[in-house]
Amino acid sequence: MDKIVSILNIISVLGTGLMAGVFFVFSVAIMRALERITPFSGMWAMQSINIYIVNPIFLGVFLGTGIICAGLAISGVVRWHLPGAAWLIAGSMIYVVGSVGITVIFNVPMNNALMAADPATPEGLQLWAKYLTDWTFWNHIRTVASLAASASLIVALVWK
């Protein structure tokens, strides 16, 4: 069991780190670039990104890491007496809540609203302006949460 938990912990470190990187790039480059171009073009580009990001590789890493983290959190509770268990639980829950939870509760509904909007209308452009600030804010939270999760999961490995 120790070996399985260690392997899953390593996979979770890689997954949370990879997701932190994806979210980071959106926060510091992609959203800023989309903000600089015409609203119609920026909105259309983000709609296109939202279509293509939903693919087996991205979802496999994003949701797969969430599933592994949920299992690791349970393992940490069951194996509370072992060194690093608190870090394992903390890192896992930070990712599940701060990355997956935030995505489901905030970012996905905003993506769905954006997909339904017409970039050629005043309403669509108004939605885009709000989307840029609100979506990016929640993406910053996902970035920090994924990075904190990765760091905590590394500590769990080191303290094992």
Residues 48-75: tens digit of each pLDDT: 999 999 999 999 999 999 999 999 999 9
Domain count, the chain: 1
Pairwise CA distance, residues 16 & 116, whole Å: 30
Q: In sequence order, which residues have a C-beta less than 8 Å from that of residue 41 and are 6 or more positions away?
A: none
Question: What mean pLDDT value characterizes the chain?
Answer: 97
Altogether, the residues listed in the chain come to a count of 160
User: Measured between alpha carbons, how far apart are the two ends of the chain, in Å?
Assistant: 13
pLDDT for 105 equals 98
pLDDT for 145 equals 98
Please answer whether residues 151 and 91 qualify as being in contact, where contact means their C-beta atoms are separated by less than 8 angstroms: yes
Residue 152's domain comprises 2-158
Residues 116-128: tens digit of each pLDDT: 999 999 999 999 9
Instruction: Count, in order, helices (H) and strands (E) of the chain.
Output: 8, 0
pLDDT value at 159 more than 90: no
pLDDT value at 139 more than 90: yes
Please answer whether residues 84 and 78 qualify as being in contact, where contact means their C-beta atoms are separated by less than 8 angstroms: no
